[in-house]
Structure 1
Amino acid sequence: MSVAWKRRQFLGAIGATMACIAGTSWAATTNWPTKPIKLVVTFPPGGSSDIVARLLAPKLGQVLGQPIVIENKPGAGSSIGASLVAHSAADGYTLLVSNSAALSIAPHLITPAPYHPVNSFQHLGYIGAVPTVFVVHPSVPANTFAELVQWIRAQKQPVAFGSGGAASVGHLVGEQFAQTLGLPMMHVPYRGAGPMRSDLISGQILLAIDALPQNIPLAQSGRLKVLAVTSSQRTASAPDVPSIAELGYPELAGDNFVGISAPAGLSGAISARITDAVRQACSDPQVHQALLQQGFALQNLDAQRFTQMVQTQFQTWGPIARRTGAVI
């Protein structure tokens, strides 16, 4: 057998192998999804990310033709759930309900960071942002933000404030609030906003910086008092609550974004399908209205602009996180 013939055989075998691999990859992409899709939430049930997941999951499952299974993986400033997704196979079967705590804050507070907010993910579908609020138990003798500041200053001991967890947006806003105004305060981190809110309602803690949506009905029923919203302007879902910017503290403004992300390396075809499915789900009238009622400021960003937003927020929150001295 000549050398040329052997070379042709070798090249033919390589070509057949590559064609087989390409064919397998193409089939996996075009047939996707063939099994349930895991949607990882980095907080316990009851928080904004969890609410978004449970509103979107049925519609996403309908659009994609497979069940969406929600898994709550809280802990370590949302980094546990985010790290799980970042190190999962890039096959479209493990997705993340991405948020500011997991991507914009936690990587600054863990050394070494277990993932990079941009390089470790593909950010596929932006959903919206929800501001946090300064909320107090009805026993607190403050009906305005200014009265809250006066009350904190008058206390003999540092005032405890709750948040949904270490390195959450609420945590950092609270720490920055204390530093900016020189207030004696002490952070009480919870494993999720749900348990924290229960303690606030019962009077176990008297002050919290929490997401707006879940506090709207509690304020309307008189069970809590919402004194300010951490945004540059008032929100449509709580028009009577002043914004922190109009009160003279624009540096305390901070929104928590929520979106859908996947591990880096996901194929373009699957990425496009997920992006389109998220857009369809958010455009569904019932889902859209439910998100608005929950206080979300919705915005249709394509994947590229969503990724840019994650990068920008990561850079913005970095010095704030380090300045507050927050740790995970």
Structure 2
Amino acid sequence: MKRRALLAAPALLPGAALAQGTQATRPVTITVPFPPGGSTDVTARILAERMAGPLGLPVQVENRPGAATVIGAEFVARSAADGHTVLIASGSTLTINPHIVRNIPYRDTDFAPVTLISTLPFAIVARPDGPASLEALMERARANPGSITYGTNGPSSFNNIAMLLVNEAFGVRMQDVTYRGDAAQVADFLGGRLDLLMVGGSTGLAQHRAGSGRILAWTGDRRMPGNEEVPLVADFRPGTVAQTYFALLVPARTPAAMIQRLNAAAVQAIRTDDFRTRLLAEGSFAIGSSPEECAAFMRVEGERWGALLRRMNITG
């Protein structure tokens, strides 16, 4: 299944009738493995508001941050498989962590996919007094190996791995600087102490729109609506695509009928114009897939990034 066809394929919504015994009786909790306020938390809260009506139940959000999503993911993996506890997983959870976290307390088989919510490319952002284009950035990087700095959330974080992929594609070397979240690196960027941001779309677009930064390129597989003048890295190096994603997962033994009920509510919410518009404003693309499509997407991403991590010898 080709990647673009996979993302474009419609979800198969279940009929209104569900088997007896699948009606949830308590609120559904979406577990966010990050602190409040970030893109994962924002997406979860927007989705929770819109799922409650179709699901016919309250949907609440609970933050369980820590250990690069491991704490929240383990909590859900060990929760009762009744559909009441759901994980909003980022690309780190099952695409990156299993390859780099030693003694990781969960496996992909501990979860059952509900739906692929969205994909999120990264933005390469320069200061207004920095390079005016991706080509100019790479020329400077070639002339001064290791002198250009960019912020990350750690050596094994998704945004650093994405930038290493870009470095490899262009044959350059830039220097990563570790921060605890976007806020600290943005502060250094605005203060002139950091050359580049390698960040999610919401952070990149905020700097771009404010005039305090310039997006040089997106790392996704399609241009950003409203920001179409900005090229993709893949325009210069075909196939160089780096994007994370958000997916809803439940414990592996959750009844299939309950998964379908959650899928129907989530996809109905995701496919509204309002939800798509809200996510585009955050620099991400709403998808809304079937559980099977979500599983296939995550399998392909896990294999692709696992091979890259092994080739680059990246460990936690």
CA deviations 1:53-86 (Å, max 9, x no partner) are 1211112233334443323333333333222222
Instruction: Confirm whether residue 219 of structure 1 aligns to residue 208 of structure 2.
Output: yes
Q: Look up the equivalent residue of 1:321 and give its one-letter code.
A: L
SS at match of 2:122: strand
* Residue 133 in structure 1 maps to residue 115 in structure 2: no
1:184, distance to aligned residue in structure 2 (A): 3.4
88-97 or 219-228, which deviates more: 88-97
Contact 2:99–2:315 at 8 Å: present in 1 too?
A: no
Structure 1 match to 2:9: none
Secondary structure class of the residue paired with 1:246: helix
SS in 2 for 1:252: coil
**Cα–Cα, structure 1 residues 157 and 30, in superposed 2: closer, same or farther, change >3 Å?**
closer
Distance in structure 2 (CA, Å) of the matches to 1:168 and 1:227: 21
Q: Where do 5+ consecutive residues of structure 2 fail to align?
A: 1-18
- 1:62 maps onto 2:53 in alignment: yes
Counterpart pick for 1:50 among 37, 41, 44: 41
- Confirm or deny: 8 A CA contact 1:232 1:253 kept in the other structure: yes
* 1:94–1:327 CA distance, 2 compared to 1 (3 A): same
Counterparts in 2 of 1:303-318, with a 5 A limit?
Answer: 303-318=291-306
Are 1:280 and 2:274 an aligned pair? Answer: no
Residue 233 of structure 2: SS of its match in structure 1?
Answer: coil
2:163 maps to what in 1? 174
Partner in structure 2 of residue 185 of structure 1: 174
Amino acid in the other structure paired with 1:128:
S
Contact 1:44 1:191 in 2 (8 A): no
Q: How many residues align?
A: 298
Query: What does 1:90-169 align with in structure 2 at a 5 Å threshold?
Result: 90-117=81-108, 119-139=109-129, 141-155=130-144, 158-169=147-158
Percent identity (aligned) = 28
User: What secondary structure is seen at the aligned counterpart in 2 of 1:105?
Assistant: helix
- Give 2:73's aligned residue: 82
User: Within 5 Å, which residues of 2 pair with 1:209-248?
Assistant: 209-247=198-236
Aligned equivalents of 1:106 and 1:38: distance in 2? Answer: 23
Distance 2:178 2:110 in 1: 27
1:307 alignment partner, SS class: helix
CA 1:68/1:195 → structure 2, altered by over 3 Å: closer, same or farther?
farther
Inter-partner Cα distance in structure 1 for 2:191 and 2:58: 37
| 209 and 251 in structure 1: CA distance in 2 versus 1, 3 angstrom threshold | farther
How big is the alpha-carbon RMSD for the aligned residues of Structure 1 and Structure 2? Answer: 2.4
Check conservation: 1:77, 1:167, Cα contact below 8 A.
no
Task: Identify which range, 189-198 or 282-291, moves more after superposition.
Answer: 189-198
Deviation, structure 1 residue 307: 0.6
Deviation at 1:156, TM superposition (A): 7.4
Aligned counterpart, 1:39: 30
CA distance in 2, matches of 1:180, 1:236: 25
Greater Rg over alpha carbons, structure: 1
For the residue of structure 2 that corresponds to 1:234, the secondary structure is coil
Structure 1 unpaired stretches of 5+: 1-25
Give yes or no for contact 2:221–2:241 (8 Å, CA) kept in 1.
yes
